[in-house]
Amino acid sequence: MSPTPEATCETTETQSWTREQIESLFALPFNDLLFKAQTVHRENHDANQVQLSSLLSIKTGACPEDCAYCPQSARYKTGLKTERLMPLDQIVEAAKKAKAEGAGRFCMGAAWRSPKDKDIQAVSEAVSAVKALGMETCATLGMLNEEHANELKEAGLDYYNHNLDTSPEYYGEIITTRTYDDRLETLENVRTAGMKVCCGGIVGMGETKNDRVGLLQTLASLCPPPESVPINNLIKIEGTPLADLEDIDPFDFIRTIAVARILMPKSYVRLSAGRETMNDQLQSLCFLAGANSIFYGEQLLTANNATAEHDRELFAKLGINQ
């Protein structure tokens, strides 16, 4: 079941996985899958180290997109208070606090379909200021054209986050206001500018197991694969179309983490949204399955997150270094 090197890709990091091969991974006995994922993980990473990122919403709500999971969409009544772009000094103070609590990367999120020139200028100033604190920088601002990607790179942006969310086949059930190709184009612009890519998806949105296969196959086929791969467990927000869905089986979630680790050995697989409702045992199995990055801090854009104190306690129990 070893993958064949991708002939058209200039890097050896990308391998060609068929859907059948990925389905076979998902179908492995649970213990066998975790053993395989942990073996791959140990060959490429420190098995007892987790990278910490902090995420701040620097512009909240009033987004024109119709992403069915998102409380920031102007189309849904979720009770979310909209806020203009945060002043620079407040962003820097938040970054200083995140660094003091142990975060090494500071991510800034703004609810735009695609930023305007003036928006990019303001975010670039924030990127430079956070970079001066000695932190890695990341931003998620919506779709980027080539010019804006280059400006952010020049400002010192290390990572750009732009998730694919789900498989190409299921995507239209979740979002209609931008296409899958739009997302891939943004990722290409980010790569061309010389930034690292943070790109993953959301599980628990009513997708099938085949859709999880399709999402991971698409991510692993990017050339090179994303350096950071966030796997989000849907946070169900009242007022959004997905608010009443049943929870994904925790074992299916862990399997998704494990397969992501096997397909993208060198990537950081981030245990992202949804951790607040996960018990310690579930999170521990996710780390065993190859997750080695988390969002750290009490807030994820507009949703609650596990507390930093609780994360430190869990890391101490597991012997995990930050």
The number of beta carbons lying within 10 Å of the beta carbon of residue 65 is 18
Cβ 65 vs Cβ 74: under 8 Å: no
| Catalytic hit among 63, 178, 199, 255 | 63
Distance separating alpha carbons of residues 81 and 63, to the nearest angstrom: 12
Is 70 assigned a catalytic role?
Answer: yes
| Catalytic hit among 70, 212, 255, 261 | 70
Cβ 230 vs Cβ 272: under 8 Å: yes
Is 138 assigned a catalytic role?
Answer: yes
| Catalytic hit among 261, 270, 275, 286 | 270
Give the single-character DSSP code of 225: P
Is 286 assigned a catalytic role?
Answer: no
Q: What are phi and psi of 221, to 5 degrees?
A: -85, -10
| Catalytic hit among 105, 107, 255, 286 | 107
Which two tokens mark 141? 């601002």
Name the residue among 134, 177, 183 with its Cα closest to residue 158.
134
Cβ 259 vs Cβ 215: under 8 Å: no
Is 9 assigned a catalytic role?
Answer: no
Which two tokens mark 47? 């098995």
| Catalytic hit among 105, 198, 199, 212 | 198
| Catalytic hit among 67, 105, 178, 261 | 67
Which two tokens mark 134? 């000695």
Please report the DSSP string for 72-131 in residue order.
TBTTS---PPPB-PPPHHHHHHHHHHHHHTT-SEEEEEE--SS--HHHHHHHHHHHHHHH
Is 223 assigned a catalytic role?
Answer: no
Q: How many CA atoms lie within 13 A of 17 on its CB side?
A: 27
| Catalytic hit among 105, 138, 178, 183 | 138
Distance separating alpha carbons of residues 104 and 158, to the nearest angstrom: 12
User: b or e along 253-263 (b: 16 or more beta carbons within 10 Å of the residue's beta carbon)?
Assistant: bbbbbbbbbbb
Relative to beta strand 105-110, strand 228-233 is unpaired
Residues identified as active-site? 63, 67, 70, 107, 138, 198, 270
